Structure formats: C-alpha cells, structure tokens
Structure 1
Amino acid sequence: MTLSHTLMRRAASTAGVLGFITATAVLPTASAAPDCSRERLSNTVGSTTIAARGYLDSHPGARAVLDAAPDQPRAQAAANIRAYFTANPGEYHELRGILAPIGDAQRECNVTVLPPGLASAYDEFMAG
C-alpha cells in the first residue's frame, strides 16, 4: 500500500465520521424532553414581557387599549381590545407572534405560567 493510498483511506474514513457526526447533530430529537425548569419558564415569560413592552412602546394605540383594559369591566375591555386589533390586524399578528413563546412553553410543559386573570386574558387574545 502506498503512502498516498493510505492517506486517501484515512481522509475518506475521516470524512465519513465527520459526515455521520454532522448528520446526527442536525437530526431533530423528537424524543428529547423539553426544558420545563422553573428558570427556563421564568426566562421565557421575562423575555417575552420585555419584547412585548418594547413593541407596545412603539405602538401607542395598542398600548393605550391594553393599559386601559384592567380598569374596565371584562366584557368592555375584551370588546375594546377586539375592536382595536380588528382595525389593526398587522399589530395583532405582530404582538401575537411576540407573545407566542409563552403559549409554546405552556403546551410543551403542560403548565400555566401566568396568574389566572392574566392567563385568561392571554388565552382570549391569542385565540383571536
């Protein structure tokens, strides 16, 4: 066996191993359990809240209708929120996307991460 033949075999072997490692690293791990630690859930709620506040800072109409809601009867608040976001569907879809990680975490971990009143409002908003 010549030196070049040996080097070619090693290169092919190394390429095969690297290919296998790469392929297994990018395969989805359907059987992996989601991270449902208190820290992860808290971080999800915290980062989502920060993102939502940032969004609302640049959308004063949405902020106004949502800030007014806690001081209104529930039916009135729901109607006002629905009316605003029906008139501004782009804002609804953007804010819904920002808030989605909370729902994703709740479904993955089969938990509720928001207090009851806020959870109910969240569910109603996300349902459209």
Structure 2
Amino acid sequence: MKFTGITARRGIAGTCAAGLLGGVAAAMIGAPTAAAAPDCSASAVAGTVSSTTGAARAYLDSHPGANQAVTTAFTQPRPQAAATLRGYFTANPQEYYDLRGILAPIGDTQRACNVTALSPELASAYSEFMAG
C-alpha cells in the first residue's frame, strides 16, 4: 500500500510540474519579447532627434534663464560656452536634470543602434552636457 501511495504522489507531483512548466513555456512563447530589436532605420533615428529637440526647445521656451544660457553659449567659443552652461546649470541643477532627461532618448538611440545621430559639433556638445 505504501508503494502505491508513493507512486501516486509522484505521479501527481510529476503531472503538476509538467503542467506548470508547460504553462510557463506557453506564456513565454506567446508573450512579446521584452528586448525587441530597436527601430534603427534612418527615419526612426531622425524622428527621435526631431521629437527630442522639439521637447528641448519647448522646455527652454518655458525656462527663460536656461534659454538665455544656451543662446549665449551658441555665440561663444567652445571653452567659454562650456563654462557658461556649466555655471548656469550648476546654479540650477533641477533644470540640468530636466534637460538631461529630455535629451536622453538621443543617447539611448545612438547606443542601441550604434549610430551617431547628431552632427560632429552637436555630438561633442551633447556628450559634454550629458556627462555633466
């Protein structure tokens, strides 16, 4: 009788385990992949840059101090422009973090697609800004 009870329990446990594993396998096959390949087409990369720069422009329009600092930096030689931006955003860290968050999709796209989405001048300024 003991042998039959152990055999029955093993059979039930095996059936439950098989059902559980089968359910998990079916769910994993049917679910979309969480790490789907990014859209690295030229139009998708350009769209990311366009929407990101549009959001940055809108942010700067609503933050006159940051807008003035960026506008001033555009007219200055690179070392002076870096100092202007560093000075402003050091004094206004929340605006720096806001803009970093807004601009992050450009870097995400560049890393995911292994491309350079900006012109060399902007890419260099972008990298310096994002590095802090």
What RMSD in Å do the two structures reach over aligned CA positions? 2.0
Deviations 1:47-70 (A, max 9, x none): 001100110011001011101112
Question: Matched residues in 2 for 1:47 and 1:24: separation?
Answer: 32
Question: Matched residues in 1 for 2:87 and 2:29: separation?
Answer: 49
| 1:60 aligned partner | 64
**One-letter code aligned to 1:88:** N
Percent of residue pairs bearing the same amino acid type: 63
| 1:121 aligned partner | 125
Q: Does 1:111 align with 2:115?
A: yes
Unaligned 5+ residue runs, structure 2? 1-21
Instruction: Select the residue among 61, 81, 86 that pairs with 1:82.
Output: 86
Q: 1:88 and 1:23, CA in 2 relative to 1: closer, same or farther beyond 3 A?
A: farther
- TM-score between both structures, scaled by the size of structure 2: 0.76
Q: CA deviation at 1:22?
A: 8.4
Question: Matched residues in 2 for 1:24 and 1:61: separation?
Answer: 51
Unaligned 5+ residue runs, structure 1? 1-15
**One-letter code aligned to 2:77:** P
Q: Does 1:28 align with 2:14?
A: no
User: Which has more radius of gyration?
Assistant: 2
**One-letter code aligned to 2:31:** A
**One-letter code aligned to 2:125:** A
- TM-score between both structures, scaled by the size of structure 1: 0.78
Q: CA deviation at 1:81?
A: 0.2
Question: Matched residues in 2 for 1:91 and 1:22: separation?
Answer: 42
